[in-house]
């Protein structure tokens, strides 16, 4: 059982253990590479695209980690395909000694989750390296084109989820009815399977990422002295936002839902709602009333997302949480990735007190269970009990250190 009392000396002890673990085990050069990178954990033998933010926020917290962020971004750009697709993961051959070299780089899904282009621009703001910015602008332009060329097949002008792993939401109820809840692998679907499949799905989170990519491209273009490009990117982003509202926003529910290939909204109360905030799709002034209503009706609602140990990956009132998977479940558990991504939006939109509470709750849970389960991937949103999934998880360790510093428990 989780001890709900937060012990300051224990917070400092666990934070020190996390820092030591990161330095000794997570920061390493992959086999055949000479530059250090930020490994996720022993359970995830490399870096997934959704975890690029690990190294970027680490650099913001500690400028000595900036080379890690640069190395990580360059890693994905250097393995970008000629058609513009970025890899969804790069594995360390030291961790996968029997894996054929061609399988160490994955392209089976997108799994971006936080706009890669935006992270590139944030690293540029720290380095002021124009050569890096020019490279990132080319790469992000190709990535944006890849989505428009391959993931807009139903004429709705929005990005489509083909595979469950595109979103990184393993075992989520929002994947119900999809033929490929993971990725396609080597399977070629039959006509009958295609007919039954609810995909391609207009995914809220993927389109928030896409919006942020186009805004980041506009910022890059401005910095590079390309005013016409900047204007074009901003117009494209504006159009994506408009279409996202038209296709996915339910005014009565005040919620954004995925939409299947036939245009039916899939009414799962998913944590995808956070992407409207973390990718700054919602404007603090223009969308102020909507922001307030979404936050009050859903995010701060104890019957949905504001649980004792926030934030669950699916609102706890959603029927799909019944019978949820016991681990690695984006259909119930409060995920370390969700907590870490809150650093991208809660202060920005003025929810500072609630962010402090989130930090306090995560410190409480992980100090209480430390030694039994060490800084893993996810927590039960009601009890704070961790699953056994992926101990010493990069995002959890980083967020623990961040929260401990924010609340004044460590320097």
What are the pLDDT digits (tens) for 362-389? 999 999 999 999 999 999 999 999 999 9
What whole-number distance in Å separates Cα of residue 97 and Cα of residue 394? 22
Residue 316 lies in a domain: yes
Q: How many CB atoms lie within 10 A of CB 93?
A: 17
pLDDT score, position 297: 99
Residue 2 lies in a domain: no
**Radius of gyration over alpha carbons of the chain, in Å?**
20
Work out the pLDDT band at 2, boundaries 50, 70, 90. Answer: low
Work out the pLDDT band at 186, boundaries 50, 70, 90. Answer: confident
Q: How many angstroms from the chain centroid is the CA of residue 103?
A: 23
SS3 49: helix
Residue 393 lies in a domain: yes
pLDDT score, position 156: 98
For the chain, how many structural domains are there in total? Answer: 1
- Over residues 46-103, the pLDDT tens digits come to 999 999 999 999 999 999 999 999 999 999 999 999 999 999 999 999 999 999 999 9
β-pairing verdict for 201-202 and 249-250: unpaired
Q: At 48, phi and psi to the nearest 5? A: -95, 150
- Over residues 134-159, the pLDDT tens digits come to 999 999 999 999 999 999 999 999 99
Residue 258 lies in a domain: yes
- Over residues 333-362, the pLDDT tens digits come to 999 999 999 999 999 999 999 999 999 999
- Is it the case that residue 4 has pLDDT exceeding 80? no
What whole-number distance in Å separates Cα of residue 294 and Cα of residue 250? 11
The pTM of this model reads 0.97
pLDDT score, position 42: 87
Residue 234 lies in a domain: yes
pLDDT score, position 1: 67
pLDDT score, position 185: 87
Residue 136 lies in a domain: yes
Residue 3 lies in a domain: no
**Count of alpha carbons within 13 angstroms of residue 375, beta-carbon side:** 26
| Domain harbouring 132, CATH code | 1.50.10.10
Q: Which domain holds residue 363?
A: 8-406
Element (H, E) at 39: none
pLDDT above 70 covers what percent of the chain? 100
pLDDT score, position 117: 99
- Is it the case that residue 118 has pLDDT exceeding 90? yes
* Least confident piece of the model among 8-22, 182-196, 296-310: 182-196
Average pLDDT of the chain to the nearest whole number? 97
Whether residue 212 contacts residue 234, with contact meaning beta carbons closer than 8 Å, is answered with no
Q: What is the mean pLDDT of residues 324-333?
A: 97
Residue 148 lies in a domain: yes
């Amino acid at each position: 059982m989780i001890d709900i009392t937060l012990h300051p000396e224990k917070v400092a002890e666990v934070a020190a253990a996390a820092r030591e673990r990161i330095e000794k085990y997570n920061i390493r050069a992959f086999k055949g590479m000479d530059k250090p990178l930020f490994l996720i954990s022993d359970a995830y033998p490399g870096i997934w695209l959704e975890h690029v933010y690990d190294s970027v926020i680490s650099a913001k917290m500690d400028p000595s980690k900036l080379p890690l962020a640069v190395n990580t971004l360059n890693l994905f750009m250097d393995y970008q395909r000629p058609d513009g697709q970025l890899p969804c993961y790069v594995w360390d051959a030291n961790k996968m000694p029997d894996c054929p070299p061609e399988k160490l780089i994955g392209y089976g899904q997108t799994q971006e989750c936080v706009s890669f282009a935006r992270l590139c621009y944030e690293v540029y703001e720290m380095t002021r390296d124009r050569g890096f910015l020019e490279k990132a602008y080319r790469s992000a332009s190709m990535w944006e084109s890849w989505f428009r060329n391959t993931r807009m097949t139903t004429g709705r002008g929005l990005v489509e989820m083909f595979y469950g792993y595109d979103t990184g939401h393993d075992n989520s109820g929002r994947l119900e009815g999809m033929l490929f809840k993971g990725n396609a692998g080597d399977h070629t679907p039959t006509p009958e399977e295609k007919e039954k499949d609810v995909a391609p799905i207009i995914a809220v989170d993927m389109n928030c990422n896409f919006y942020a990519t186009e805004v980041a491209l506009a910022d890059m273009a401005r910095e590079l002295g390309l005013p016409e490009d900047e204007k074009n990117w901003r117009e494209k982003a504006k159009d994506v936002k408009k279409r996202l509202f038209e296709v996915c926003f339910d005014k009565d529910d005040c919620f954004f839902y995925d939409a299947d290939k036939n245009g039916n909204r899939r009414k799962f109360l998913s944590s995808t709602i956070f992407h409207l905030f973390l990718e700054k799709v919602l404007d603090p002034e223009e969308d102020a009333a909507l922001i307030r209503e979404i936050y009050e009706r859903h995010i701060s609602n104890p019957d949905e997302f504001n649980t004792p140990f926030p934030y669950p990956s699916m609102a706890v009132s959603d029927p799909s949480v019944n019978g949820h998977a016991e681990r690695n479940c984006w259909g119930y558990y409060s995920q370390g990735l969700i907590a870490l991504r809150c650093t991208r939006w809660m202060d920005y939109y003025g929810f500072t007190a609630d962010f402090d509470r989130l930090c306090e709750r995560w410190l409480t849970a992980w100090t209480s269970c430390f030694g039994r389960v060490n800084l893993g991937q996810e927590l039960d949103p009601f009890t704070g009990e961790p699953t056994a999934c992926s101990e010493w998880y990069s995002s959890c360790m980083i967020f623990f250190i961040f929260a401990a510093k924010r609340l004044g428990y460590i320097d």
